[in-house]
Structure 1
Amino acid sequence: MGDTKSEDNSTKRMFLRSTSAVPRRSNGSSNFPFSRAKSVQDIQTSNQKRSRSSIFLIEDLVQCGICLDKLSEPRMLPCQHTFCLNCLQAHLMAITGRKIRKNHMPPSKEEIQAAVTETNNEIACPTCQIPVNVGKGIEGLQQLPNNVYIDSLLKLLEETNGSLPQTPTRLTPETRCIKCQTICEFKEERCEHCKQIFCKVCWAEHLLTLKNNLFTLIENIRESEVRLEHRLQDFYERCNKVGVNIQKVTDEMISDIKAKEIDSLNQLENIKQQEEKTANMLKEHLTSTKKEIQLLSFDSIPSDKQKVELFMNFHRAASKMFNEISQMGETRLLFDPKTFKVKQINEFFNRATSGEDGDVVDSGDIGNPLESVETMTSYYLNRLFNPKLVWTKCPRPAGLGIPPWSKNLLYITATDRKVVLIMDRTLFKIVGKLTAPNMLCTQGIAFSEKLLEIYVSDKWKHCIHVFSSEGDYLRSLCGLGSGPGELRSPEGIAINWRNLLIVADVGNDRVVVLDPLDGQHMLTLGLRNKRTELQAPTGVAVYKDRIIVADNGNHRIKVFSDIGEKLFEFGSLGSGKGQFRTAEVVACGPLGFILVGDAGNGRIQVFTPNGDFVRVIGSYGEAPGKFAWISGLLVTPQLEIIATDYKNKRLQIF
């Protein structure tokens, strides 16, 4: 190896002599650095050797110490060593990758690029290992200066490429030592730690360095053990502080809850004592009235008129007491865990403030709303829409319907009761029900005035149940499947003017038109290339020759003709005016106004027959007039709006 270095130094001296501006003289009498005794042939041979050595040395000088190829876009480090710009960038990425490696797993390219961009970077010169701060990002390397000397040599090589003699075959780049840059013919040594190549001499030094680093690593491990112990103790202290805070807050909350508990129990006790006081008073009245009647000598009263009058007085007193007794114990007590208040509800049905005719009293006079679309719009805009009836124990209600043969009845599908409840709207009382052994989850309801039949969709049975107007079970239509005449989780249902059955086939993403007699498939709405543009439609309504569909999955309302042609659509996802978050149900009122049960937003939205927004009714909540999830919607000819709320188990009439 020493011979190789000597030869390399000799070559450098020859290069300096051959490229000097003033030729050196050997004995003061000649301009040529060789003896006069040499022959011309020897002189030519010597010149060729010098030329080849010079070219070899020039190529060695313009060779990158990283890629071992000719320099490209050379950049000079402060230590004067020059490398390719791309090689320095790759070198920086490799160093950063080793720094951020976690759990012996190599980081991704994106993680390395982020680390290079976010921090000030420092690299060690690949030749002399002097650290160099290159700033943030790959761009910091581009700010390094060019090596003017190297640039000149590169230009010289480019200009004389065609006239210089052929350079000898170079050794393979893998045999260049990363430390001393020596090119050797012996087998190199590659370090698996730093992925660099060393000559035999430098390899021994490198192994010694690794050995010394092991002792340094041991010291670092010891320091880390102590640091870990301190950090663990500090973490334990923080945990203890948080635990003390948790106990303190918990004790305060328990104390507060205990105080609220005492207040609630006192409220309950006061209600109980008040009820006992009322009961004792009734007992006294009953006892005294009974004694008066027992002590009364009815026959001793001379006048028949006085007898009748006395009887009526006792009868009125007794009737009043009987009425008060009938109301005793009917008060429902509700405990609100949010406010810790005990509430009393005295009636099953709660009436809102209303006028003499039962309609909600609104301000302003808008005349007859049925005259035109404009007057109907004004009606919806000016009416208060306060609930005049709230049924708070409606069992998971869904679809609603008023039969054409009995306008005072209201049919309500109860999803978890497997029945359809029948309410008398004048008495606000349940008077009957529809049921069948094979019903599972009643959903939508529709009526055929022509056939005097009732149709109920069954979401879990995947069929349509048919009843007579008297409530007798007649048959079922369709069954589970996706073919014609088959259904999958049907919900909304309606009868159009042609006496055809319109069904929202939710599971099959379609709305189908069926024959109500045998369930024969007649038409599929919105069908294009054997697929529909609907996604989980849940509600349908009809007005004259129009079919209105609540396209639940797309948060839109789509209007079709009765032959399946789409006329227009409106709505989008959101909570603004005219937007929906799960358009669950749809209903049509007089003049074709469209009402949409915007279940996700807890409200009803009103639109004109052309889909123009009019107003919002209600909002999300549990109080009367609000909704948690609208599951049924109906508009009566008298412009009453009836809505069911699945989550609140409530029916409201506006």
Structure 2
Amino acid sequence: MASNMADDFDEEFLTCAICMLNFRDPKILPCLHSFCRECLQEWATKQQPLECPTCREPVRLPHQGVDGLKTNFYVNNLLDFAAAKKGAEPGVPCQVCGGNVEGSKSWCADCATLLCEACTSVHRNLPCSKDHEVTTEETLKAEEAISRFNRKRHCDKHKKHELEFYCESCKALVCTACTVVDHRPGKDHNPVEIATVAQKRKAELQGLFQDIDPRLKEIQNAVKEVDRKMSLLVPSKEEATDQAKAYFRKLADLLQNREQEVLSQIDEQCRADGKALQTKKEAIEFELAGLTSAQTFCQQAVEHGSDVHVLEVGNQVQTRVETLLAKRLDLESDWSEFQFVENTVIVDVEKEVDNFGGVKTNVDVSKCKVSVKPAVQGFQCVAELTTMNQEGRPRVTNSKAVEASMKDPSGTDVRAQVQMKSEGLWEISYTPEVTGNHRLEVKVNSQQVPGSPFDVDVKGNPVLTIGHKGSGVGELNGPIGVAVDKDGNIAVVERRNKQVQVLDANTGQSLRSFPVGGENPVGIDVDSQGRFLVTSWGENCGLRRYSKDGKLLNTYQPDCMRSPHSLAVLKDGRMVVADGIQQSCLLLQPDGSLIREIGKVQLQQPLYVSVDESRDVVFVTDKRAHKVVAFDLDGNRKFDFGRQGDKDGEFQEPRGVTTDPAGNIIVGNSGDGRVQVFGSDGTFKQKVGPVKGGFASGVALTTDGYIAVACWKGHCVELYRYM
């Protein structure tokens, strides 16, 4: 034991890891790391929640703070021993008289003072110190001295008394006086001599010490194994890199060889065709020369020959020309331009590139996970596979090792494609053509992953219809405005029930409702603090703010507001309100005061409004003009799109409008129930619907990216997938 303590007795063991100096009043954290009391106090003021500076273990201080932590008396003893041993060396003076530099020294554990021989003698004879524990220089130099060197502990309450007992009931060290006053033996206290309890505790700790050893060896072996694998990491990488390079060089060589073969074929074909065309050309030119010669002779005879000459050669010329004209000639070259043909198109090669080699790792199929995303008929849908190792960490594997197949309710195959998205993450994409339960089978290394085959419920569009006509919980009557709150729930304004009902966007379940003021509540939005703002037109028109629970907080009825319809709330609390009678949009301060009018004399009947703050653009639906008009927040007109009609990109009394993160503009039609999606510049992209009842009112985008539509005549809210 002495040798072990001697091994621990070095500067590093006696140094605080925070200040890097010898410990001063060392305190022990629950993780058994020690630090100076003052260092810990300063550390605690800088870091919350508190963590151990060495191992980052969370620390919960006692109610007394750092002072309530246990003191590391073992380290204190070592520091005392180090000081005493150093003081006993030649050249160190007595700490009492200041002399006797060369003489032997002793150490008083009670006074923590170094004494020369003369002072030691006096110290032992004084009544107040005759019982102090004094250690001689010979004892300090002995090998086992450190194990016997202990600073005496005194009671905090009775300063002159040593701690000699341990109250087992209170789990506290006490002195003799304490056993008479505060810890008198009885039913509430049981003071026992420290040596007795300490012996028992040492035996318990010895058992723990023995239990640590095999675990320690296990962890040490694990570290060695990790080191061994780390040593193999670079060679493994280099070997795999060399193999990959060789593989792709072979592929490149095959492509280059094939390229040369095709180029050679083109050259050979060009030479053969050139030779054939040259032969054809010569044959045609020969016939051309004969006919040209006969033509010239005939022309000269007609124009310059005498009558006698004409009669002499006329028959001969006639025979020659008739023979040439009657001759059947093959004037066609019977050649068409040759072209290079892509027997395997580039697109198909791109699809197969992922299969040109890969990385094989130790994937544990039993740990692999599949996440099936909501699926909608006619749209590309995805499921995500994560390939993992035995420790449950994502691992790359060869693309050939991952297989996916799908069947629709009739058992017909649905094409499923697999593509690696990142390390260990794979996307399985498919486009279902019918609704109903589909079966998705996923395999890794020819083994089914847990849960495979998976049931995939493919829904139609809309994917969810919430509510029906009524005034009860979950029922809707005249839903006209819709918004999505900070929790992702759908808040819908019911004009006829004069209330706001909050619905779960996933299940459609009604979560709560609250009444709203005004004769005709219509528009709704949510501010940055999650509060609801609702507009109403008609008698007692205005704008009202409600808490998350539906408590009325504020009512705004500025003079500039005559018939507020829809509104949009900006992040800074400003509001844009569409006012049909004012024929403009009102930009308001958070307190409801007017900043400016937007679109005055440029709008005929503005009803719904949405703000894309990323682009500083306000989109307004103009019911009477059958179009959407875009302004900036300064009121400058940017552009507009749409006209009356039932074709794509045309409107029948547009109502709700919103934008998505990609900048697309989504607009609902009240005239025919279509919901159309436009690009950021107003270019038509697609449509969904028509909605139930054929009257699309307010629209909003859910956190999952679905379009939520308030169906005025259908008395419901419908959720649509798009894009």
TM range (shorter): 0.3 to 0.5
For CA contacts below 8 A with separation 6 or more, give which structure has more relative contact order: 1
More helix by share: 1
TM-score (norm: length of structure 1): 0.39
TM-score (norm: length of structure 2): 0.35
